[in-house]
Structure 1
Amino acid sequence: MKPIVQKLPRQEFKSFVSITMSTPIFETPWHRHIENEILYIQEGHGTAIIGDFVGEFSPGDLFYIGSNVPHWFRKAQKDIFCTVVVIQFDQAIFGQTFLKLPEMAKVRQLIRLKQGMAVGYAGQEEIIGSIKRLVEVEGFPHISTLLDILHQISSHTQNSLLTHEPIDSFDSKGIIDEVLEYTFEHFQENIRVEEVAAIAKMSTSNFRRFFKLNTKKSFSGFLKEIRIAHACKLLKDKNTFISQIFHQCGFRNITNFNRQFKEIKGVTPTAYRAAIYRS
């Protein structure tokens, strides 16, 4: 399986991509592209992997993904319908002279970001209107609306960086995508790194190095984050007992589940659920 160095087609009379994508076009493997990307989740939920970040996505989420940051979005269940507004642009469309203008300082810093970011826009929902409008407009409003969106994103103080270490290496044979798919299919089971290494057709030691190089995580750490992300989804249902949840996430006992959940989220599963229903 070849990895995608993705390049979405753009209309001839537009300088960058601004489209709405729905299932099944929404589903893509582990991929990257030179273009910066803005993703607004309109419908659907699941797990997002952006660089070395593993977490959830749900309706209303807004992500900014820098140039060449690998990412992968997977629906929670195969029968879920997902819809996302996708904006992809190469910073070269602005030209270096324009980007150096003092008025462009914040935008310049944003589009040169080589990380993934969650955009917080509480109380400033006009940015979502601009993103939706961008899909429809043509001509000068198409480029001016993009600039306005970038200005709004770069000016927000509620944004939070999701990635930490840049991933310079990128799997050229599609092995990472195959490993991710297998992990999501079997994370509720007792997965051993030896069996995943066999899928990758590598020795265990070589696979550990390869996975760390391409994700900035150990495989065991990645598996733990996938399990905890699934637990977070289940905790939103207050009718599901925590004593049931840890089994469904691949943990062997509740003590280990509580310890690893707190290690990732900073709070116990009980406190995490309580916070959901306080908000």
Structure 2
Amino acid sequence: MKKIIENPNDEETEIKESDMPFRYYQFDYSDGFSGFQFHWHEEIEIHYVVSGSGSFFIDDTEYNVGKGDIIFIAPRIIHSGKSENNDLVDICYMVDNDYLMSKNNEYNTDKFFTELINTKVELPVIHMQNEGYEQLRAPLHLIDSCVERRGPFFQLEIKRNLFDFFIELYKNNYLSMSSQSSNHIETKSIVKQSISYIQQNASGKLTIDEIASHVGLSSSYFMKLFKECTKMTCVEYIKILRLNNAANMLKETDESILQIAHTCGFFNLSLFNREFKRYYSITPSLYRKKYKMSEIEFITF
């Protein structure tokens, strides 16, 4: 995905979103946004729930979330998120580890961020009543203000507040070294490989045999591992991923519904229309009319 952002010289520059060390989103699930399908990435991901309710699936466990909750997702963790009643509004902060680390590891501070790769998050969802909540919410609130004001030093202010957030995470013992077994880690690695492969090839005629072969397993054993980690079958995952991709294309492009269906891996238009309506409770054409102009607020640097 590419975004147009303003660079420090006030010139418009086309930049790959994934290359940015800090990204800030505001998601409104009532505005045609269906949620996050299972995925993983190298960045740290933080959410703050503004309103509504939903659930996040993080590293084998499903968590119910509501207004005021803070969700912390460490790098390389398989996760997803959805709204319960299409009423969830949340802010997402995506942070590259390298953005928080010094080049010369001054004062040995980098260990706090490199360890995140192998760290277990004791409480991924932090509620208002949990210890240290206000101290964790405060720096996120200040980041929101920095983004809104866009003052001359807002990039520095955002970085300072991110440091404050991580200090509070450690002070309140929300992060600890993982004690997961090597078998558990290997299983997660296999499922992550399969998810990446599916995402890269979802537009084609994917088969379970093909995916299983890619990760070096029999089809039956692969399907068992996939469902253990995601609580859904691989076939379900592929279908929902394709539907989400199609929904994004309906909002963001002017391509025909037939072309979108084919691009997203549906080679039978009737099947696509039926599955889309079953999942979104609306036809593709009506979905496009309703949500065509809706956008996710986005800032990056």
User: TM-score if structure 2 supplies the norm length?
Assistant: 0.50
Q: CA deviation at 1:219?
A: 5.7
Q: How many residues align?
A: 192
Measured after TM superposition, the shift of residue 163 of structure 1 is 10
Within the alignment, does 1:43 sit opposite 2:51 as a pair? yes
**1:47 & 1:163 partners in 2: Cα distance?**
25
Q: Distance in 2 between matches of 1:114 and 1:7?
A: 31
Answer yes or no: is the 8 Å Cα contact 1:118–1:161 preserved in 2: no
Q: Distance in 1 between matches of 2:43 and 2:220?
A: 30
| SS of equivalent to 2:173 | coil
The letter for the 1-side match of 2:198 is K
User: 1:88/1:9 Cα in 2 relative to 1: closer, same or farther (>3 Å)?
Assistant: farther
Structure 1 equivalent of residue 95 of structure 2: 89
Name the aligned partner's letter for residue 173 of structure 2. Answer: T
Structure 1 residue 76 and structure 2 residue 84: aligned?
A: yes
- CA change 1:16–1:174 in 2 (3 A) is closer
Provide, for residues 109-137 of structure 1, a one-character-per-residue CA deviation record: whole Å limited to 9, x for no partner: 65334555525443541321211221331
What's the secondary structure of 1:54's corresponding residue?
Answer: strand
The one-character-per-residue Cα deviations of 1:210-267 (angstroms, maximum 9, x if unpaired) are 234446549699xxxxxxxxxxxxxxxxxxxxxxxxxxxxxxxxxxxxxxxxxxxxxx
1:130 to 134, 139, 155: 139
Are 2:163 and 1:147 aligned? yes
Superposed CA offset, 1:6-56 (max 9, x none): 999876458411332222446122122221111122222233211222232
Match of 2:117 in 1: 112
SS of the residue corresponding to residue 81 of structure 2 reads strand
| Distance in 2 separating the partners of 1:134 and 1:85 | 11
Distance (Å, rounded) in 2 between the aligned partners of 1:62 and 1:36: 13
> Relative to structure 2, which stretch is displaced further, 158-167 or 20-29?
158-167
CA contact (8 A) 1:119 1:158 kept: no
The unaligned stretches of length 5 or more in structure 1 are: 1-5, 178-198, 222-279
| TM-superposition CA deviations, 1:60-92 (whole Å, max 9, x none) | 322221212121112223xx3111121111111
Residues 50 and 210 (structure 1), Cα distance of their counterparts in 2 relative to 1, 3 Å cut = same
Partner-residue secondary structure (3-state), 1:21: strand
* Contact 1:46–1:57 (8 Å) recurs in 2: yes
Distance in 2 between the 1:27 and 1:163 partners?
A: 30
Matched to 2:55, the amino acid is T
Match 1:102 to one of 80, 105, 108: 108
What one-letter code is carried by the residue in structure 2 that aligns with 1:73? G
Query: Is the alpha carbon distance of 1:55 and 1:76 closer, same or farther for their aligned partners in structure 2, counting shifts above 3 Å?
Result: same
Greater shift in the superposed pair: 136-145 or 54-63: 54-63
Match of 1:22 in 2: 28
Tell me the distance in 1 between the aligned counterparts of 2:101 and 2:4. 21
1:211 corresponds to which residue? 223
CA distance 1:217–1:37, shift in 2 (3 Å):
closer
Q: Verify the 8 A CA contact 1:69 1:114 in the aligned structure 2.
A: no
Code of the residue aligned with 2:134 in structure 1: it is E
% of aligned pairs identical?
A: 14
The one-letter code sitting in structure 1 at the alignment partner of 2:162 is: L
Distance 1:219 1:20, change over 3 A: closer
Residue identity opposite 2:139 in structure 1: S
Offset of residue 59 of structure 1: 2.3
Is 1:34 aligned with 2:42?
A: yes
Structure 2 gap ranges (5+)? 9-19, 147-153, 210-216, 234-301
Higher strand share: 2
Q: CA deviation at 1:143?
A: 0.9
- The equivalent residue for 1:173 is 198
- The residue that corresponds to 1:157 in the other structure is 173
**Contact in 1 for aligned 2:38/2:230 (Cα 8 Å):** no
- RMSD (Å) for aligned C-alpha atoms: 4.2
Paired residues for 1:187-226 under 5 Å: 206-214=218-226, 216-217=228-229
Structure 1 distance, partners of 2:177, 2:65, is 15
User: 1:235 aligns to what?
Assistant: none
TM-fit CA distance, 1:141: 0.6
The residue identity in structure 2 corresponding to 1:210 is F
